[in-house]
Copies of this chain bind each other. A is one copy, B any other.
Amino acid sequence: MGRRKIEIKRIENKSSRQVTFSKRRNGLIDKARQLSILCESSVAVVVVSASGKLYDSSSGDDISKIIDRYEIQHADELRALDLEEKIQNYLPHKELLETVQSKLEEPNVDNVSVDSLISLEEQLETALSVSRARKAELMMEYIESLKEKEKLLREENQVLASQVTMTTISSALEAN
């Protein structure tokens, strides 16, 4: 639906790719908005440009709610570590709290409650370090993907550089 039909393949011209990206991204987000209103649903759209810039939108509900919903669905896939953690770490703490509290109500307190507190602290630390580790992991993954991209670019670069050399030499030879 434009001046002419285009094939669905990477647009080679950088600036028209950029223009198309911006236009179609807006179009997509508007379609998402319409779907959400027309059919009372929630839609989240996340777009990452080639340059790594992030664009997101949501309609019908908060994007984090929609993503949470996605993560709940895929809980088995380790992505929902989040939820798993809540279940695995939060519950024992609750129990532990109750234990500590009940211990406190007993007459001869000290050692037991201090021990419980230490253990609570340790469990809490574990839970926190898991979520921290998850964040670090996400960042590391991202760093790896950037490094990979860099490597590919360097390779492409080298091919191009040798092409320049070759064509220059051959045209010099032809000149003689």
Chain A residues engaging chain B, CB cutoff 8 angstroms: 6, 8-11, 14, 17-18, 20-21, 24-25, 27-28, 31-35, 37-52, 54, 56, 60-61, 63-75, 77, 79-87, 89-91, 93-94, 96-97, 99-100, 103-104, 109-111, 113-114, 117-118, 120-121, 124, 127-128, 131-132, 134-136, 138-143, 145-147, 149-151, 153-154, 156-158, 160-161, 163-164, 167-168, 170-171, 174-175
Partner of A28, one of B6, B32, B138: B32
| Contact A14 to B158, CB < 8 A, known contacts A42-B47, A48-B42, A121-B93 | yes
Number of identical protomers: 2
Query: Which residue in chain B gives the minimum CB-CB distance to A68?
Result: B138
- Determine how close the nearest CB of chain B comes to the CB of A95; give it in whole angstroms: 11
Asked if residues A87 and B124 are in contact (CB atoms below 8 Å), the reply is yes
Taken together as a complex, chains A and B put the C-alpha atoms of A71 and B131 apart, in Å, by 13
User: Top 9 A-B pairs ranked by shortest CB distance?
Assistant: A160-B160, A171-B171, A21-B39, A167-B167, A83-B131, A153-B153, A146-B146, A42-B48, A44-B46
Asked if residues A151 and B51 are in contact (CB atoms below 8 Å), the reply is yes
Asked if residues B120 and A93 are in contact (CB atoms below 8 Å), the reply is yes
14 extra A-B contacts, CB within 8 A, seeds A11-B38, A82-B82: A6-B38, A28-B31, A41-B50, A45-B45, A52-B150, A54-B70, A91-B120, A100-B117, A109-B110, A110-B111, A146-B150, A153-B153, A153-B154, A160-B160
